[in-house]
Structure formats: C-alpha cells, structure tokens
Amino acid sequence: MKDAAAEVVADRVSMTYEGGHVAVADASFTISGGEFVAIVGPSGCGKSTLLRIIAGLISPTTGLLRVGHRTAAATTRGAARFGFVFQDPRLLAWRTASQNVGLPLELDHSPQANRSSRVAGALALVGLAEADSSKTPRMLSGGMRMRVSLARALVTEPEILLLDEPFGALDDLLRQQLNDELERIWLARRPTAIFVTHNVSEAVYLAQRILVVTPAPGRIANEVVVPFEYPRRPELRGTGEFARQVGEVSGLLRKAAT
C-alpha cells in the first residue's frame, strides 16, 4: 500500500441546516488510508452531506473531522488532494473530454508542461479511446460521460476519492461494468475511496467495509466488514456467499430504517 492515501476520522460530526433540518447526527468513524469504504442508506439520509463535509465544502455544525496522514497529526485539509465524482457526470458542455479532464489541473495551477500527459494518462486509466478525447460531452454516450467524469476526479492523483452515487443513473449492465473499472482503478492507484450508494449489491461488490446509515437524521447504525479478496470478479455476484452478504446488509438497512 502506498503512503499517498490519507485517512479520514470523524468524531461526533453533526450537520444541521438553516431551518433546523438535521442531515447528519453524531457520526463517528475512522477510514484508514487506502481503504475502500461504502456508505449505504436510503435517499435523503445525509450521505451526500457527509461526503461534502469530508471534502471540506461545508463545515459540520458540531464535531470534528480530521483528514490527513496518521504520522502528521496537524495535517491541514489543503494538504490532502480530493477527487469528487457526482451522481451525474457534471461535465462542462463547451469543453472537449480532455479539456474537461484537464480542468482541475488548470484550477490548481499545475505545471503546464506535463498537463497533457497527465490528462492522457487519466483518460487511458478509465478506458476512454483517444478518438473520443476531442469530442464534446453531447457527442458522448452516458457511460462515456461518466468515464470522463471519473477521469477528471483521478487526474490530480487524489489521496481521497469521494464518489456520490456515481452510477445511480446508469442501466444495470453499464453499472456493473463501471464497478469493475472502478475496482481496477482503485487497486492500481490505491486512494482512500469513500463510495456513497443506495445499491447494496454494488456496495458489497466494491467495498472492504460498509457503513449503514439511518434515514434522516443520518446516524451510522452499523458497520459491516466485507470478507471477499481482491480482485473481485463478476462471477462473485453469482455466489451464495455474495447473496448472503447482500442479504445481511439489506437486513441491517431495513432495521436501521425502523
């Protein structure tokens, strides 16, 4: 495991929006550097809010959130590089695929010299053909747009990869294909990956550990360790052991909802 990945520690984190809506209540967890953790819960349970708190886009109302390396106790948030993948690809329509992928490098003023090679590397990593890199989003299919979005999140070689239901809008076959791609990318780069989803089988297939969140206000109800070895193959989905794991997490999810 590379030492590039940063850990995420949440200590009694709560988030109350203006108007009194409690999105997250008392969430405490530790995600180690390089770990793949899925957060599952019903829609509107504050999963997205939690991701945005981790990314530093919003500050928690109470509680502490620490992101950084275990050795450097006082690491500031800016030191950890984040990649964020949204539910929709959220590409800029007026930029080509490679220009979209290069955007984060422009924004944080990365050296001009190796930008194009980093963009090409990220596009190759997500399996986008070179011919497609000069196309604008409207010329790409839904699956290819999501690959571009993934490449944009990976181009800065993030230490922490945050994924907010990225494959929720895709059909099942495409979703499974992209699950395999994501697993391959994670194994190759080994960032800390935090994957929000409401699809239990997707969470079991990808994650080392699953946090089960209750409906609003979101609390961490359970933690499930997924025992399967990597690399996980599509055949795994057909095994009884896989079905049993999915059943267990679904049961916990139902229990958390009542």
Distance CA 231, CA 168 (A): 23
- Here's the x/- map for other proteins, 134-153, by CB under 8 A: it reads as --xxxx--------------
Question: Could you give the C-alpha distances from 191 to 163, 208, 211, 242, in angstroms and in order?
Answer: 12, 13, 18, 25
x/- map, 50-69, other proteins, by CB under 8 A: --x--xxx------------
Query: How long a stretch of residues is the chain?
Result: 258
Name which position in 16, 32, 156, 177 contacts other proteins (CB under 8 A): 156
Angle between helices 97-107 and 115-125 (to 10 degrees): 130
Based on CB atoms, which residue is closest to other proteins, 78 or 227? 78
Do residues 126 and 189 lie in contact, with contact meaning Cβ atoms separated by under 8 Å? no
Would you call 195 helix, strand, or coil by DSSP? Answer: strand
Least gap, CB of 86 to other proteins (angstroms): 5
Determine the Cα–Cα distance for residues 152 and 11; give it in Å rounded to an integer.
30
Is 103 a residue that touches other proteins (CB under 8 A)? yes
Determine if 107 is a binding residue for other proteins (CB under 8 A).
yes
Tell me phi and psi for residue 38, to 5 degrees: -105, 140
Residue 177 engages other proteins in binding (rule: CB under 8 A): no
106 binds other proteins (CB under 8 A): yes
Which residue in the set 46, 60, 68, 104 belongs to the binding site for other proteins (CB under 8 A)? 104
d(CA 50, CA 45): 10
Positions in the binding site for other proteins (CB under 8 A) = 52, 55-57, 78, 82, 84, 86, 88, 90-94, 103-104, 106-108, 136-139, 156
